[in-house]
Structure 1
Amino acid sequence: MKVYIEVLVKWVGWLLVFVFVINQTASAQTEEPFHITRINQPITLDGFSDEAAWQNVDPLPMTMYQPTFGGSPSEKTEVRVAYDDTYMYFSMRAYDSNHGGIRGNILFRDRFGSDDYFEVMIDTFNDNENSLVFTTNPAGIRRDVAITQDGVGEAGSWVNADYNTFWDVGVEVTDKGWFAETRVPLSSLRFQDKEGRVEMGLSLHRIIVRKSERAVYPAIEPSTDFAYLKPSRMQTIVLEGVESQRPVYVRPYVLGGLERAAVSEESSDGYRHIHDQTADFGLDVKYGLTSNLTMDLTLNTDFAQVEVDDQQVNLTRFSLFFPEKRQFFQERAGLFEFRTGGLSHLFHSRRIGLTDDGEMVRILGGARIVGRAGDWDVGFVNMQTEKMGDLPSENFGALRLKRQIFNPYSYAGGMMTSRIGADGNYNLAYGVDGTFRLYGDDYLTVRWAHTLDDREQFDADWSPGKSGRFFGVFEKRLRDGFGYRTGVIWSGEDYSPQLGFVQRSDFTQLSQDFSYSWRPGDDSSLIYHTFLIGGESFIRNIDGTIETFEAGPEWSFLLKSGGRGSIGANLVYEDLLVPFTLDQDAFIPAGDYTFYRGVIDYTMSRSGLFRLGTNLEAGGFYDGYSFSISLQPTWNISPHLELQGTYGFDHVEFPDRNQAFNSHLARLRVGVPFNTEVSTNIFLQYNSTIDSFSTNARFRYNFSEGHDLWIVYNENMNTNLNRLGQMLPRNQYRSVMVKYTYTFIL
């Protein structure tokens, strides 16, 4: 093991030397920074952008991104950007020759549907990694999103849709088109100035959904997936004479409610209901320590208004991963990303205040600092939870540092985490990482993490290698032409970040993908299609045997109509040393298995009011076979009614063992917005694997940004009362909560 670690360290060292040499000639942004116009006259946020202040602001040139890159937008579009001492302003005049075709059905805050929209993307630190996205539609909704990792990684890993900040919009629709103005306070944008000069990245987008058309500024070429969302493709802009404004946001809340839960009687086979009344209050404070460093403080934290988790069906032997939805952890959440392969994270904020089963643990208070200090991106979290049952009071801490090195597209950094219990148990972890642009679109990413906890001081065989993990990938981040991705992961048997998430340990993973993509041209119905062949293997460190191997081809495509899909097939090999169960009637015995599987995936264009996503997977499954289908329909019936559904069905059968497993998972979201301030969301879920039907209903009155009234109703019901051999109560849990928050700006 010692020799292995030494070789690994030397290999990484030589790679860093190679990176340094190559990056002396690596290209950086060649566009000249664009000085946007400073205005000194007031702007009324009504959408029309006809004030005198706008008259001296020239429109920016827009280029069609999709369906055909390089052309002029099919409808006249004028976008402008300006700023003053307090705000950045963005306007769009979206003329439309077909007034009846303008789509503006969504009235929900933070909802994204089949609407036309105006999108502003700002890379506030001009770091080519992170950006904030501000979107509005013809109905005047606000949607804000944070982009991280330059839009690279597994689907959804680099988009934080739960991010929120303070900003405003004004929209009007006429017979000539629709017109929008977006106003973002400089105090909502963390940035870095040098003697009053600020550089940011910027891109602006207009979407005409009925035409599946996107027009962009600057002229971003669709040479890779989601190129239009990448901070590294933005235009650098300059603001002069900008001074930091650092208001203090004080947000108290009051909460009241009733709960009823069924608990079993230890002395009998029955259940009794317990009732509880809640009356509570707490406080959040946001303060700008500097123009680019923000501190959040929280006391007696509560997340009653957060939507419940999407239930999942697990057909694997590994733990399920659930994303973070709580607002306190959202600002610049991507800074804390430290992935060590797949779903494994060195830090996962859901560990704070939530048990592995999703049960809430009271957070007594804590602090969070994010932003930039000098050349360093800084992230710090420290939270204290209350004792609950056998779980002691715990302190959770994380520190993250990153900075650019060599060129504007490369960075290096590190992270430390701690989880310390009042009972003396502790878990500590640290990691170092870097992503380096070697040349062109070729990138190398390396990460090393190591954990230490109270158990290891008694282990005579302990060594750094046993509790460490290494991740490395070399890839071409370009969709056009030939592409490749080579990866390696090595994990020790004792690697266990208790403030993170892992699925496997004590293994080595090797992966390799080769692909070729091409754009057929203007006459084709396809924007691009890609053929990929690749695979991965998991090797046990203890004896070098293969635990899992999977490989096969895949064809994926994107249509000019906006639809996208893929078809793939895989050879799978699994070697199980221990059995695992699917449910009480079906299990997988230990042994080695070889089988084949096929996958078909297709998502309809967003151009229609009704759209459907489908996924079909079938083939062998260990010593049997399985069939899975998932349907995800969305129907915007009217601006005041939206339905979003998911239905998943899994059938697994083992004929030789006369076992079978069936699961049904259904989710339905019913959105009823009365206007952009008042709305109701009802989330219904049925899961046959746990015989449960649940309801999460949330009424929101958003008086203004930071000023909300929430009424939240939750109910869990048992659908099979005899599944445990005793009569269960029909109603397992029910609660109603009322929460009121108001933000004072000091």
Structure 2
Amino acid sequence: MRTVFIIIILVFASFHFALAQNGLAIKKATGKIELDAQMNELDWKEAAIAENFAQFFPSDSVPAKAQTEIRMTYDEDNLYVFAKMLNLGPREYVTPSLRRDFRGEANDVISIVLDTYADRNNAFLFGVNPFGVQREGLIANGGSVASSDTFSTSWDNVWYSKAEIYDDHWAVEMAIPFKTLRYKKDLNNWYINFYRFDSEYSEQSTWTPIPRNQFIINLAFTQPLVWDEPLQKTKTNISLIPYSIFRNSKNFETDTPTINDFDFGFDAKFGLGPAMTLDVTANPDFSQVEVDQQVTNLDRFEIFFPERRQFFLENADLFASFGIDGTRPFFSRRIGVTRDESTGQNLQNEIYGGIRLNGKLNKNLRLGVLNAQLKENEAIGLASTNYLVAALQQRILSRSYLSATFINKQAFVDSVGGDFTFSPNTYNRTLGIDANLATNDNTWNGKLFYHQSFDETNSDSNYAFGGFLNYSTYKLESNLTGQSIGAGYNPEVGFVRRRNIFQLTPQVWYNYYPKNRVIQKHGPGISGELIKNNITLDDLDWNLALNYRFNYKSTAYLELSAEKQYTFLLNPFDPSGLNGLALTEGTDYGYSFLSATYRSDARKVFSYNLSTQLGEYFNGSLYNLAGTLTYRYQPLGFTSLNFAYNNIRLPDPYKDADLLLIGTRFDFTFTKNIFWTTFVQFNSQIQNVNLNSRIQWRFKPVSDIFLVYTDNFFAESQTENGGLILPTIRFPRQRAIVLKLNYWLNL
């Protein structure tokens, strides 16, 4: 009994030590470090150890089952990390493929978070899995807000690693060049944390303990990395990335001649000291970018598709995080797309070039400037247009900051071939200020924003004002989002779903943590939405949902909802989505429905996500079934099937609909450097079959050869309402094949 008592005391003492850790010391290496995933060098044996990892999932009050040990050192050029991931016995490892920048909590990976300005607002992330596959990313917003720009793996840079699997552990050795990072010189410490996903034990663990109601990348819980001497300025950092491309394309719908063209351009990166970067692009090309995943459009408003172009993705949080989801003053996909006012169609608008300057002016002040010049289009009378976006971010308190932005869209001529002018007749500008606030432990975080647009029409009510407030504890999670958008608010370079509205969106969840082997937490929730006319305060839409959710220790998830919806139509709307007879404006509808979402254990070779909705829909009914089925042939890749079926039944004379969207993705990685991805998507709503196949060879770090084939076919449905019967493929619409080479040169 005494022995058991001593063991218990030692276990709790070790965990208390983990809670009380106050940083990790790092010393300069005295010898050369070889990347071999073996701890042979004397510097590793003398380095301080980050150990005593704490569990983050499924619990957060016990030491990790699978412990981890991490050591760090450095020399003039690189930061080195050695990580040893211990196991409890023989086991297998999980990875989606050998493709870089993988994501997913069901995979095995060790990640290091580096806050190089010690501001707990922005950080770099580097991760490696047992198969040696790398991922890197950028963390913004303190890692504390659930939004698409909080964590992004779009940032791509040069660093090195080696991984090996041993009998009782796996190990990773990393070398991260200082010129890859941006940091404030003469700092005595950075902030760091490490976290590990382990598929065998369905466990997530961190060096610094983090409450499980927070995000695992939350920078509020980082600890100091204490340097033995302050870091100085890095060596000159200039990179040139030229590209060349050959394209063969044919538009069958317009029956124009086949086009064969060769083009070239370049990107360049200039390190302006250790804290600032200037990016330049000339004649950029984005042919290698993956196609958007198609959706069935049953919405009355514009659908948001995320940015996928590399130049606009890097450090996007500084420009794109103003406002809230659905109301953004800057949306980079507006750059490169214009509108033909005579037909109402969106057209591609080529980009001459652009620059992006971003970095830290001092520890607390961050600057970003983006400028792009687009080509003229004589066919529609569009003059060459300039896009300018500037942003400043000033830290206040420990984890809060004020941000300001200025966005300008204008041509420097009033017509194609006109005289140069700084005061054109047509322009669009937006000014905005945001305040992001967070407590030190992130129990409370929120935002307030005010934006105003300006153009030659001098419209009234040209503002957007709003924000959100989050409160998160173990038992209670709540959110309140609200905004008021004027009828004249028109940021042409932004994304605004609705105007002239007052909107409130509350949500509350209560969590239970049962002591069983299956469920990690469960609990009820209530959510809603109220949208009113911004002037008269008449009801436009409202929604009330009663919810219940289950988080399983296997990483599976189940959510059930019962909802009541009210909709007032300001414009005619066809709920069938097939351009049938529209419901008239000024009519209103109340309808109820049930919905459910389930995500299976993603650690399994076969996994799936399913969602369904059943019930009333405007003046009829809707049955929806959607999901993704994935089979993984580890470690080489996976095949997935995405589908969405909408069965819509409306009373006469309105049109019924059976809308089918189905797509397959084949993702195969021959090695860690050669990848093949193929999408095939059929959308009965727009009667289109899309094929996109891409082979990528990364022949050296951040240098690639791409071969991309794209085809679109007109696919006629076999029934009037669409349906589950496979379509008849009538004729091709557009076809293209692209060969592209880009090469990263460090000068």
Do both share a fold (TM > 0.5)? yes
Q: Residues 154 and 315 from structure 1, CA distance in 2 versus in 1: closer, same or farther, beyond 3 angstroms?
A: farther
Cα displacement string for residues 656-708 of structure 1 (whole angstroms, at most 9, x for unaligned residues): 54521221112221112110011111122111111111111111110121221
User: Is 1:279 matched up with 2:262?
Assistant: yes
Q: Residues 678 and 437 from structure 1, CA distance in 2 versus in 1: closer, same or farther, beyond 3 angstroms?
A: closer
Please report how far the alpha carbon of residue 119 of structure 1 lies from its aligned counterpart in structure 2 after TM superposition: 1.4
Please report how far the alpha carbon of residue 187 of structure 1 lies from its aligned counterpart in structure 2 after TM superposition: 1.2
Residue in structure 2 matching 1:223, options 213, 221, 227: 213
C-alpha separation in 2, matches of 1:37 and 1:684: 52
Which stretch has the larger CA shift, 287-296 or 97-106?
97-106
Say which SS state the counterpart of residue 291 (structure 1) adopts.
coil
Say which SS state the counterpart of residue 200 (structure 2) adopts.
helix
User: Is 1:394 matched up with 2:360?
Assistant: no
Please report how far the alpha carbon of residue 223 of structure 1 lies from its aligned counterpart in structure 2 after TM superposition: 2.7
C-alpha separation in 1, matches of 2:445 and 2:109: 33
Which stretch has the larger CA shift, 144-153 or 534-543?
144-153
Please report how far the alpha carbon of residue 392 of structure 1 lies from its aligned counterpart in structure 2 after TM superposition: 3.0
Say which SS state the counterpart of residue 716 (structure 2) adopts.
coil
Partner of 2:646: 650
C-alpha separation in 1, matches of 2:35 and 2:439: 45
Asked if the contact 2:24/2:50 (under 8 Å) is kept, the reply is: no
Say which SS state the counterpart of residue 670 (structure 1) adopts.
strand
Partner of 2:189: 199
Partner of 2:708: 712
Taking the TM superposition and a 5 Å limit, the aligned residue runs for 1:107-118 are: 107-112=98-103, 114-118=106-110
C-alpha separation in 1, matches of 2:68 and 2:558: 30
Output the amino acid matched with 2:66: E
Say which SS state the counterpart of residue 150 (structure 1) adopts.
helix
Residue in structure 2 matching 1:103, options 94, 97, 122: 94
Partner of 1:369: 357
C-alpha separation in 1, matches of 2:96 and 2:505: 44
Say which SS state the counterpart of residue 163 (structure 1) adopts.
coil
Partner of 1:47: 37
Partner of 1:381: 370
Which stretch has the larger CA shift, 564-573 or 650-659?
650-659
Q: Residues 611 and 728 from structure 1, CA distance in 2 versus in 1: closer, same or farther, beyond 3 angstroms?
A: closer
User: Is 1:554 matched up with 2:572?
Assistant: no
Partner of 1:504: 498
Asked if the contact 2:555/2:602 (under 8 Å) is kept, the reply is: yes
C-alpha separation in 2, matches of 1:662 and 1:344: 32
C-alpha separation in 2, matches of 1:670 and 1:445: 40
Cα displacement string for residues 463-519 of structure 1 (whole angstroms, at most 9, x for unaligned residues): 4xx10110122331x141234333321111110111111110011112333332233
Please report how far the alpha carbon of residue 526 of structure 1 lies from its aligned counterpart in structure 2 after TM superposition: 2.3
User: Matched residue pairs, number?
Assistant: 695
Q: Residues 154 and 622 from structure 1, CA distance in 2 versus in 1: closer, same or farther, beyond 3 angstroms?
A: farther
Q: Residues 473 and 104 from structure 1, CA distance in 2 versus in 1: closer, same or farther, beyond 3 angstroms?
A: closer
Please report how far the alpha carbon of residue 594 of structure 1 lies from its aligned counterpart in structure 2 after TM superposition: 0.7
Q: Residues 703 and 602 from structure 1, CA distance in 2 versus in 1: closer, same or farther, beyond 3 angstroms?
A: same
Please report how far the alpha carbon of residue 723 of structure 1 lies from its aligned counterpart in structure 2 after TM superposition: 11
Asked if the contact 2:474/2:511 (under 8 Å) is kept, the reply is: yes
Partner of 2:115: 123
Say which SS state the counterpart of residue 702 (structure 1) adopts.
strand
Partner of 1:91: 82
Say which SS state the counterpart of residue 564 (structure 2) adopts.
strand
Partner of 2:476: 482
Partner of 2:7: none
C-alpha separation in 2, matches of 1:543 and 1:136: 56
C-alpha separation in 2, matches of 1:651 and 1:535: 25
Please report how far the alpha carbon of residue 129 of structure 1 lies from its aligned counterpart in structure 2 after TM superposition: 2.7
Partner of 1:10: none
User: Is 1:79 matched up with 2:81?
Assistant: no
C-alpha separation in 2, matches of 1:558 and 1:145: 27
Residue in structure 1 matching 2:128, options 136, 154, 157: 136
Please report how far the alpha carbon of residue 438 of structure 1 lies from its aligned counterpart in structure 2 after TM superposition: 6.0
Please report how far the alpha carbon of residue 157 of structure 1 lies from its aligned counterpart in structure 2 after TM superposition: 4.5
User: Is 1:301 matched up with 2:280?
Assistant: no
Partner of 1:159: 151
Residue in structure 2 matching 1:408, options 395, 398, 401: 398
Taking the TM superposition and a 5 Å limit, the aligned residue runs for 1:193-272 are: 193=185, 196-224=186-214, 227-239=215-227, 240-245=229-234, 246-264=236-254, 272=255
Asked if the contact 2:615/2:622 (under 8 Å) is kept, the reply is: yes
Structure 1 unaligned runs (5+)?
1-28, 265-271, 457-461
Asked if the contact 1:48/1:171 (under 8 Å) is kept, the reply is: no
Partner of 2:16: none
Say which SS state the counterpart of residue 142 (structure 2) adopts.
helix
Cα displacement string for residues 252-302 of structure 1 (whole angstroms, at most 9, x for unaligned residues): 1111121111243xxxxxxx2421011011011101112111110011111
C-alpha separation in 1, matches of 2:314 and 2:118: 17
User: Is 1:350 matched up with 2:327?
Assistant: no
Asked if the contact 2:359/2:367 (under 8 Å) is kept, the reply is: yes
Please report how far the alpha carbon of residue 380 of structure 1 lies from its aligned counterpart in structure 2 after TM superposition: 0.7
Please report how far the alpha carbon of residue 104 of structure 1 lies from its aligned counterpart in structure 2 after TM superposition: 4.6
Residue in structure 2 matching 1:469, options 464, 467, 481: 464
C-alpha separation in 2, matches of 1:69 and 1:30: 15
C-alpha separation in 2, matches of 1:657 and 1:159: 48
Please report how far the alpha carbon of residue 528 of structure 1 lies from its aligned counterpart in structure 2 after TM superposition: 2.1
When the two structures are superposed, what TM-score results if normalisation uses the length of structure 1? Answer: 0.89
User: Is 1:315 matched up with 2:282?
Assistant: no
C-alpha separation in 2, matches of 1:276 and 1:203: 52
Residue in structure 2 matching 1:632, options 628, 631, 634: 628
Please report how far the alpha carbon of residue 303 of structure 1 lies from its aligned counterpart in structure 2 after TM superposition: 0.9
C-alpha separation in 2, matches of 1:155 and 1:399: 21
C-alpha separation in 2, matches of 1:31 and 1:128: 18
User: Is 1:596 matched up with 2:596?
Assistant: no
Partner of 1:3: none
Please report how far the alpha carbon of residue 169 of structure 1 lies from its aligned counterpart in structure 2 after TM superposition: 1.3
Output the amino acid matched with 1:680: W
Output the amino acid matched with 1:633: L
Asked if the contact 2:43/2:73 (under 8 Å) is kept, the reply is: no
C-alpha separation in 2, matches of 1:659 and 1:256: 46
Say which SS state the counterpart of residue 348 (structure 2) adopts.
coil
After TM superposition, what 4+ stretches of structure 1 lie above 6 angstroms from structure 2? 721-724
Partner of 1:26: none
C-alpha separation in 1, matches of 2:626 and 2:73: 46
Say which SS state the counterpart of residue 49 (structure 2) adopts.
coil
User: Is 1:187 matched up with 2:179?
Assistant: yes
Asked if the contact 1:721/1:730 (under 8 Å) is kept, the reply is: no
Which stretch has the larger CA shift, 58-67 or 713-722?
713-722
Partner of 1:532: 525
Taking only the aligned residue pairs, the percentage that are identical comes to: 24
When the two structures are superposed, what TM-score results if normalisation uses the length of structure 2? Answer: 0.88
C-alpha separation in 2, matches of 1:333 and 1:288: 18
C-alpha separation in 1, matches of 2:514 and 2:252: 61
Output the amino acid matched with 1:588: L
User: Is 1:68 matched up with 2:59?
Assistant: yes
C-alpha separation in 2, matches of 1:645 and 1:339: 35
Output the amino acid matched with 1:470: F
C-alpha separation in 2, matches of 1:622 and 1:605: 35
Output the amino acid matched with 1:442: W
Asked if the contact 2:322/2:434 (under 8 Å) is kept, the reply is: no
Asked if the contact 2:580/2:654 (under 8 Å) is kept, the reply is: no
